[in-house]
Chains A and B, each alone.
Chain A
C-alpha cells in the first residue's frame, strides 16, 4: 500500500516539476492527436453531411462501411498505414514511416469514420426537418450540405470530441507507424505502455493523469460551449 502511495507521490512530483520527458511526450501527443482531429474535422464532418443529404446508388453500403470502420481495431489501421508508408509501399518514397506525420496519418484514418458516422446521424435528423424548405428555396446539394454543417455546428462538437478521445487514447496504430522512438515519436499512450512494462510506474501514472485531465478539460469546455449556445440560440 505504501508503495502505491509513493508511486503516486512520485508521479505528482514529476508533474509539479514539469519533468522535461513528460512535457516532451505530452506536447507531441497533443500535436499529433490535435492535427489528426483537425484533419478529421475537415474530412469526416463534410463526409458525414454528404452521406446524410445525398441519395445515390450504394449509399447503404457506404453507411455500413463507415459504421463498421468506426470500431476498426487501431492495430489493423496501423498495419494498413505501415504497409502504405513502408519502403515497398505506394507512399514509401515519402519517407514518412516512424515520424509524427505517419502517426497523424494513422490517427486521421482512425477518427474520420467515427466523426463521419456521428456527423451523419446528427445532420440527417436535422435534414429531415429542413429538407422540404431547402428544396422550396431551390438550394443546391452543396448549399444544403454547407448550411447544415453550419446549423449543426454546436451538436457536431460531440463528433469532434469523440474523435479526439479516440485519437488520444489509441496505442496500437501509433506504436506500429511511429515506432515509439524516444525524443521522436513517443506519445503518452505508447510511453505509458512502455514505462509500465519497464516498471517505471511514476512516469506512466503521471502521463495517465495528464491524458485523463486533457480529455476531461476538453469535454468540460465543449459542455460549456453547448450550454452557451443553448442560451444564445435556443
Chain B
C-alpha cells in the first residue's frame, strides 16, 4: 500500500482545473497536514485518494499494487450521524468488513472507550455535541483499523478544548500504526500534530516538507505569504 505515489494526478471536470498535476509521495508512517487557501484542492485531493472522485488524468500507485478495497477511511468535516445510538453508529463501519454483529458491537465499545464516549454508548448520536460527534466519527474510522486515514478539516467548527481532544485521538490513532493525511486551516494545529506539511494552491502541490522546515524556511513565495496570512484569495500562480 505504501509508499503511495501520485504522479501528475489531475481532476478537471468540465475543464476546470481542480487538481492540476499533483505530485506527491507518502511513506507508511506519520501525520501529514495538507495546508493551503480555500479552493486549493485539499478536500478534492483527499476524496481522490479515498476513491470518491475518479481523477481525469495521472496515476496513483499504491506501493506497486491496486487501491486497497478496505484499509482507507475518511472522516468528514460534518460527519453523518445515523438515527441510532452512539454504539450502533460506530459498529456500522465494520459492516463491509464482514464482522459478525456481536463482534462489531464489542469492538465499537472498545474504541468508544478510547475516545471517551463509552459512557454515552446507548445515547442517540444526533444528540451529541459537535465535538463529540467528531470524536464518534474518528471512532468509526478507527474501529476498522485503517492503514490510511484521511481527515478533512475535522476540527474546523470546534472550540479549543474539543479541538485538543480530537488532536489527542488523532495522535493515538497514529500510534496504532495508521498513516494520517489531514487538511486544516489551523497553522498552530499543523505545528502541534504534523510530521510533515503538504502545501497546495491552485490545484497543485507547491511544497512538501517537514513541519519545522516548512514554517521556518518556506521554499515558495506562496507558502511564505500563506503563513503570514497575506496570500490573496483566489490567487492564480
Contact = CB atoms under 8 A, between A and B. Distances in A.
Nearest to A153: B83
Interface in B67-117: 69-70, 73-74, 76, 79-80, 82-84, 92-93, 95-96
Contact of A233 (B69, B127, B140): B127
B83 A137 contact: no
Interface residues of A, number: 21
A113 B127 CA distance: 35
B126 A234 contact: yes
Interface string B163-192: 000000000000000000000000000000
A230 B221 CA distance: 52
Interface in B104-151: 124, 126-127, 140, 144
A136 interface: yes
B40 interface: no
Contacts of B70: 138
A133 B76 contact: yes
**Which of A138, A232, A234 neighbours the largest number of chain B CB atoms within 10 Å of its CB?**
A138
Nearest to A139: B96
Given A130-B80, A135-B52, A137-B96, 18 more contacts: A132-B47, A132-B52, A132-B76, A133-B76, A135-B51, A136-B74, A136-B76, A137-B92, A137-B93, A138-B96, A143-B96, A147-B82, A151-B82, A153-B83, A233-B83, A233-B124, A233-B126, A234-B127
6 contacts: A130-B80, A133-B79, A137-B96, A151-B84, A229-B83, A234-B126
Interface of A: 129-130, 132-133, 135-140, 143, 147, 150-154, 229, 232-234
